[in-house]
Amino acid sequence: MDRRVRRGLAVAGLLLVVLVLLPVAVVLVPFGGAFAACHHQPIVLMDVLGSRQYHRPDDKGYAPNALAILGNGNGYACSEDEARAMGYHHDISLEPLPAPSGLPS
């Protein structure tokens, strides 16, 4: 194989790796920083269209906040009390559903 072809393939491969890993790093680096600061999974703060909601680690759909890198009210807190003090409320649509009661098994 020609040296230029190999160099082109190497550059293309490196570019592909960067394009795949960069978005993952942008999401996970702030989450990792919050995890290290809190010493546990942080509360995820979301401020989309002024909703100011937070998600707990035990909520359905809990995941690192892709918008945390932007700031603007999106980010992490170490406790629910801290999130509430900042004006956020718990997104109850993500709470685990209660177990049904009174139903025959």
* Amino acid occupying residue 47: D
Query: Mean per-residue pLDDT for 66-91?
Result: 84
Structural domain contains residue 66 = yes
Quick check: 48 pLDDT over 80?
A: no
Q: Sign of the CA dihedral 57, 62, 68, 72?
A: negative
Query: Which helix (DSSP H) or strand (DSSP E) does residue 54 occupy?
Result: strand 53-55
pLDDT of residue 83: 92
pLDDT digits (tens, 9 = 90+) for 1-30: 688 888 888 888 888 888 887 777 767 778
Structural domain contains residue 45 = yes
Structural domain contains residue 101 = no
- % the chain with pLDDT above 70: 81
Question: With a threshold of 0.75, does the pTM exceed it?
Answer: no
Q: What share of the chain is helix, strand, coil (3-state, %, to 5)?
A: 45, 10, 45
Structural domain contains residue 103 = no
Domain, as residue range, for 69: 3-94
Structural domain contains residue 105 = no
Structural domain contains residue 100 = no
pLDDT of residue 80: 92
The total number of structural domains in the chain stands at 1
